[in-house]
Structure 1
Amino acid sequence: MSDSGLSFTEITVLMVLAVEGEEIPNPDLEKRYGVVLKKESREKLNDLKLIESRKQGRSLVHTLTDRGWEELKVAVVSDISAPRGAGGAMSLALLSLVRGILTRTGRELSDLFLLEDVPVVAPVEEEAAEEAPAGDIATRIHAAYAELADRPGELIGLVRLRPLLGDATREEVDTALKGMVRTPGVSIVPESNRKILTPEARAAAVTFGGQEKHLISIEAL
């Protein structure tokens, strides 16, 4: 049990969904990870709005919500009791490693699951720095966000932001967005209520971490 009131299995489910970065069917939780999500725990996680579950064929599929990300971060930095044995010991060791990384770097937990998708930018000569398109587009993104947001940290749909970025290509904007998530104070997250997404909002999403992200938040305007 953690300080957040979740069992070790429930925390494991949140972690698995974070790693997957997308919907995962209930049978696959057990098949891939050996995790059995019983009805009581599923309903608990649904009631707390930490995961969303929906029927797909004969199975339920689950998705981690924004609140689930926050709760997972709380759980990671809390004291957690794990089952005895090698599996529990390994899980606690990995959680301790994650906790140390977050403490040392000040990063968000979600950043750890995005690193493989963040483009590696080769060093540029000082005289060519002004020509780096990603930096220029990131500046445009900041300016467009400031124009749309009523307050710092407000979630703004990428569907509203993209039209304000001039002649930047889709690829250039996506590359800049993926790089910006490594900047403190910048978050790019999925819309937790998928039912309200319009076709345009879905098309404007940027995909990384195996998940479509529809909203951006910048703490400092």
Structure 2
Amino acid sequence: MSNKPLGTSARQALVALMTHVSEASNPELYEQFRVRIEKNVRQELQDAGFIVWRKGMRGTIIHELTEKGWERARRELSAAPPERVSSAWLLHYGTLMHLNRLLTAHNLQLADLYIGPPATLDIDGQPAPAEEERAAGEPDGIEARVRNVYLRLADAPGDLVSLARLRGSLEDLARDDLDRVLRAMDRRREIHLEPDPNRKALTQAARDAAVVIGGEDKHLITIDQS
């Protein structure tokens, strides 16, 4: 089914998820790009194997590109724009075509453009430690402590827990060390960090406890049951 032409809304959703880089909810996509992935579009992309999704806090649906979805999104860089779209989308697709020529000329992949070399940079463009450096910086097993504290605070595996509560149980850790570990675990999809969709109701403690990833505050953590 992946060879079936995608509708305009599905193509826009692919570009939005590609540009967002990490998994995203509809409120996040709408806030950044004025794009929503409606049920029929979600089904179209899921049937084609381009996305996976799960339910987050208060039933919010979280979307993420699959490897196949990233491959399909790559084709949007050289595709003609959808029919009957606004001038903003025409300009966007013109930019994508220029980027495609640059990637081709330098033999680069889409990940080099949107994510960067995983061995040297994290999602915020900061130097990522090598595995041996990461291990050396965690003599007390910070990752294991994060998992243990999460399981103690969550009513059930997969529930959302506020980072404020998590930090409150790990007060002996330096903030930079904990943030580094949380970003690394999220990047490896061992945990999921999410923004609270009801940001107006956030306490100052919840705001202060947030981890910034890709320029966005993440207030909640969940760990799926494996």
Match of 1:83 in 2: 80
Match of 2:9 among 6, 11, 22: 6
Match of 2:129 in 1: 120
Confirm whether residue 138 of structure 1 aligns to residue 143 of structure 2. yes
Cα distance in 2 between the residues matched to 1:118 and 1:146: 30
C-alpha distance in 2 between matches for 1:98 and 1:135: 37
Which runs of 5 or more structure 2 residues have no equivalent in the other structure? 42-55, 82-93, 112-120
Q: CA deviation at 1:141?
A: 0.9
Q: Could you tell me whether the CA contact under 8 Å between 2:186 and 2:193 is conserved in 1? A: yes
Q: Which amino acid aligns with 1:90?
A: N
Letter in 2 for 1:12: V
Q: Structure 1's 216 and 135: CA in aligned 2 closer, same or farther, altered over 3 A?
A: farther
| Deviation of the 1:139 alpha carbon | 1.6
| Secondary structure of residue in 2 paired with 1:70 | strand
Instruction: Quote the offset at 1:88 in angstroms.
Output: 9.1
- Runs of 5+ unmatched residues, structure 1: 30-36, 51-65, 100-111
Q: Which letter maps to 1:116?
A: G
Alpha-carbon separation, structure 1, partners of 2:110 and 2:123: 14
Q: Distance in 2 between matches of 1:4 and 1:152?
A: 37
Structure 1 equivalent of residue 167 of structure 2:
162
Note the aligned Cα RMSD (angstroms). Answer: 4.5
Change (3 A) 1:214 1:11: same
- Asked if structure 2 preserves the Cα contact closer than 8 Å seen for 1:14 and 1:72, the reply is yes
Counterpart residue identity of residue 8, structure 1: R
**Could you tell me how far 1:170 is from its partner in structure 2?**
1.3
Hey, what's the Cα distance between the residues in 2 that align with 1:147 and 1:4?
45
Residue 18 of structure 1 deviates from its aligned partner by 4.4
CA contact (8 A) 2:18 2:70 kept: no
Mapping for residues 82-101 of structure 1, pairs under 5 Å: 82-83=79-80, 87=97, 90=100
Partner of 2:210: 205
2:63 to 66, 70, 73: 70
Correspondence list, 1:102-113, <5 A? none
Runs of 4+ in 1 over 4 A off after TM superposition: 1-5, 66-69, 71-81
Closer, same or farther: CA 212–117 of 1 in aligned 2, 3 Å = farther
Counterparts in 2 of 1:176 and 1:9: CA distance versus 1, 3 Å: closer
Residue 107 of structure 1: aligned partner: none
Which 10-residue stretch deviates more, 208-217 or 1-10?
A: 1-10
- TM (norm. structure 1) is 0.55
Deviations 1:124-177 (A, max 9, x none): 5xxxx6x63276222211111010112222221101111111411211211111
Following superposition, the deviation at residue 8 of structure 1 comes to 3.3
Which region of structure 1 is more displaced relative to structure 2, 189-198 or 204-213? Answer: 189-198
Greater length-normalized contact order (CA 8 Å, ≥ 6 residues apart):
1
- Between the two proteins, the alignment pairs up a number of residues equal to 170
Secondary structure of the equivalent of 2:187?
A: coil
CA distance in 1: counterparts of 2:13 and 2:131, whole angstroms: 41
Q: CA deviation at 1:5?
A: 6.4
